[in-house]
C-alpha cells in the first residue's frame, strides 16, 4: 500500500503525544492526604472544614478519618491503614505522642509526609503545627480563671490524657503562673484525664463537687472537659459559685455560656490548623521543604515562627456569651 507523506510522520507525532501526556500527568500530580484527629467531635469537624478549603485551594485530595473515641490504639491502626493504602501524607492530632512514633517512622520510610498538630517536637514528624503560643495560652487561661473565681480558693485541672503533649504543656504553664502570682490558689488533687469524653467529665465533676463543696473553679484543657464540667455545675445550680474555663468549640460551648455554667472558652480556629497542615504537606511532597523557614507566608493564614519542626502561630480566640455568635464552629 502506498504511503502518503503525512503517514511518515505518524510515529513521530504519536511519540510527541505520549510524551506530552506523560509530562502533563507528572506536572499535575494529585497528592492524597488523610487527616486522623483524636476523635470525631465538633472541634475536629471544624478542622475538617479547613482541610476541605485547602483541598480546593491547593488542588490535592484530602479526607478525614477519625476514631469514634479518643482511643490511641485505634488512632495508630487508622494511621497504619492509611500507610498501607499508599497515601502521600498523614495529618495527625495525636492522642499519645509516644505511641505514634513507630508508625510515623514507618510512614517516613515510605516517603509519606507526616504533619502533626497539638504535639510540639513530635518524634518522627516532619512538622508540627501550633496555632497558639502554648506557654502564653496556658498562662492566659489561668488569668481568665482568676478573673472569674478570684485569686484564692480550690480549683481542678482537666486534660484529655496525661500523654497529650499540648494539654499538659498548657496545664504546666498555668500552674507555674499560679504558683508564682497566686499563692492562695489550691489545686485539688492532680490533673484529671477526662477531657476527651463529655460524659466522663460530667460524672467526674459531679463527684468532685460532692467531695469538695468549697470548689471554685474548673480549668479544662480538651474540647469535652468544659462542657462536662458545665453540665455538672448546671445540674447542681452552681453557676454563680463555680467558674468553668475550657478549650471548647463555640457552638458546643454556646448553651453553657448562655446560662453561665461556662464562663469562657479559650481556643483557636482548628480549621486554620487543618489548612496549614495541608499546605506544609504539599510543600514537602513537592520537594520544597527548604521554603519552610522564618518569613514563610502561608496563604490566608499569615507568617509563623519556625522553631525546629514546630510551626508556631499566636492566634488565640476568647469566646464569651457576648461574642459567641461571631464564630460558627
pLDDT per residue over 281-303, tens digit each?
Answer: 999 999 999 999 999 999 999 99
Task: Pick 328 or 245 by higher pLDDT.
Answer: 245
What sign does the CA torsion over 292, 297, 298, 303 have?
positive
Res 29: pLDDT: 67
Res 8: pLDDT: 54
Cα 229 from Cα 146, distance rounded (Å): 17
Res 41: pLDDT: 86
DSSP symbols for 56-100: HHHT-EEEE---SS--HHHHHHHHHHHHHTT-SEEEE--S-HHHH
Question: What's the mean per-residue pLDDT of the chain?
Answer: 92
The answer to whether 148 and 216 are in contact (CB under 8 A) is: no
pLDDT digits (tens, 9 = 90+) for 199-212: 999 999 999 999 99
Res 27: pLDDT: 38
pLDDT digits (tens, 9 = 90+) for 8-64: 544 444 444 444 344 433 334 699 999 999 999 888 999 999 999 999 999 999 999
| Residue 264 clears pLDDT 80, i.e. is over it | yes
pTM for the structure as a whole: 0.79
Could you tell me which of 115, 155, 177, 149 has the C-alpha nearest to residue 310? 115
User: What DSSP element (H or E) covers 306?
Assistant: strand 305-307
Domains of the chain: 32-131+269-314 (3.40.50.2300), 134-267 (3.40.50.2300)
Q: How much of the chain exceeds pLDDT 90, in percent?
A: 87
Strand pairing class (215-220; 264-267): unpaired
Collapse the DSSP code of 152 into the 3-class scheme (helix H, G, I; strand E, B; otherwise coil) and give the result: coil
pLDDT digits (tens, 9 = 90+) for 155-196: 999 999 998 888 999 999 999 999 999 999 999 999 999 999
- Least reliable range by pLDDT among 7-16, 80-89, 122-131: 7-16
Other beta carbons within 10 Å of 263: 25
Task: Pick 234 or 22 by higher pLDDT.
Answer: 234
Amino acid at each position: 500500500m502506498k504511503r502518503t507523506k503525512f503517514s511518515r510522520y505518524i510515529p513521530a507525532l504519536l511519540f510527541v503525544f505520549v510524551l506530552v501526556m506523560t509530562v502533563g500527568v507528572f506536572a499535575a500530580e494529585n497528592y492524597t492526604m488523610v487527616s486522623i484527629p483524636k476523635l470525631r467531635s465538633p472541634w475536629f469537624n471544624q478542622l475538617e472544614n479547613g482541610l476541605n478549603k485547602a483541598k480546593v485551594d491547593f488542588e490535592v485530595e484530602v479526607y478525614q478519618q477519625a476514631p469514634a473515641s479518643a482511643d490511641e490504639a485505634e488512632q495508630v491502626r487508622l494511621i497504619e491503614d492509611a500507610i498501607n493504602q499508599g497515601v502521600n501524607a498523614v495529618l495527625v492530632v495525636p492522642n499519645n505522642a509516644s505511641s505514634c512514633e513507630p508508625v510515623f517512622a514507618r510512614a517516613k520510610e515510605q516517603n509519606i509526609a507526616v504533619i502533626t498538630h497539638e504535639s510540639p517536637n513530635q518524634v518522627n514528624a516532619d512538622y508540627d503545627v501550633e496555632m497558639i503560643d502554648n506557654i502564653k495560652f496556658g498562662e492566659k487561661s489561668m488569668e481568665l480563671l482568676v478573673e472569674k473565681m478570684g485569686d484564692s480558693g480550690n480549683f481542678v485541672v482537666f486534660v484529655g490524657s496525661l500523654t497529650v503533649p499540648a494539654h499538659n504543656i498548657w496545664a504546666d504553664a498555668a500552674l507555674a503562673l499560679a504558683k508564682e502570682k497566686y499563692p492562695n490558689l489550691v489545686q485539688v488533687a492532680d490533673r484529671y484525664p477526662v477531657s476527651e469524653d463529655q460524659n466522663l467529665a460530667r460524672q467526674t465533676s459531679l463527684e468532685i463537687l460532692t467531695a469538695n463543696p468549697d470548689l471554685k473553679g474548673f480549668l479544662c484543657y480538651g474540647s469535652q472537659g468544659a462542657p462536662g464540667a458545665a453540665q455538672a455545675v448546671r445540674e447542681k445550680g452552681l453557676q454563680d459559685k463555680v467558674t468553668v474555663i475550657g478549650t471548647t468549640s463555640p457552638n458546643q460551648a454556646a448553651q453553657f455560656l448562655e446560662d453561665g455554667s461556662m464562663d469562657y472558652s479559650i481556643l483557636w480556629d482548628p480549621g486554620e490548623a487543618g489548612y496549614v497542615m495541608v499546605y506544609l504537606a504539599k510543600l514537602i511532597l513537592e520537594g520544597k521543604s527548604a521554603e519552610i523557614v522564618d518569613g514563610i507566608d502561608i496563604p490566608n493564614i499569615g507568617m509563623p515562627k519556625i522553631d525546629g519542626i514546630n510551626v508556631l502561630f499566636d492566634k488565640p480566640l476568647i469566646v464569651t456569651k457576648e461574642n459567641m455568635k461571631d464564630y460558627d464552629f
